[in-house]
Structure 1
């Protein structure tokens, strides 16, 4: 009988200890949540965009097909897009970008998509975009992203042959010229 009492007492002590540890973990998680919430900077005002009227800096890169691209090689109005794999808004806009690129005047030659990230993570984007756009995969501080001053994703815009940003929108279909129906 005394053995049974000892076991019940031990289980009771372990249960109370477990409850105390659980409450401690919950309190700690709440503290971490508050700290992380305090560090997050909410986006206030307009979503990120390419500044209209901005002159794009010089850049030179090579597409996934081995074709050179540079600001000096831009011909006519060029649809430009900046995406990164794993970005939820980028993933949501990818099919819309493909459809807009199919309809863009000048076609693939006048459509440039920059995928920011490692080549292995960008493979799906490249596969889907290569038939309709010239695709470059580069690091966040790559020459094209730096030339355009890109700091957020996704970004969509139109640049003329001199490298001046003509328009910028949050959706690629909104950049299609009047008379060209979005998908």
Structure 2
């Protein structure tokens, strides 16, 4: 069985960290790197800023950080609900902080899914809502951009939202 890449459950994170060695802290203690002596793997404990209310969502991420494509796969396919939620929040953080785009890739992957149970449909619905894929609001910076660039960004978010809304309609029936 492949080891998890993300943890989003505070209790599981504390259990996992109990067996690890603290290597360094940053951001006033809001981020820390740990080493798992059993595997040699490094882990980053941080607070996802996408869930700002209450100080963020405690997350544990195995380093090196997964690619956007890998995080999309975790959001959709992880058997662990906390890992799926942490993956969506990771995508939102990468979008906000690192300006990485994930929306079209995620909505297209969601559209390729063939959910055969109520639970699987529910997971896909939750991903769409948590990621805000159905919201056509432009989330990209507008300063120092031409009107044409801003309009191009707006068209992109509207197109993703339209695809997400078609998916929502299919999943709710």
**Of the two structures, which has the highest relative contact order with CA contacts closer than 8 Å and spacing of 6 or more?**
1
Larger helix fraction of residues? 2
TM-score of the aligned structures, taking structure 2 as reference length: 0.25
* Bigger Cα Rg: 1
TM-score of the aligned structures, taking structure 1 as reference length: 0.24
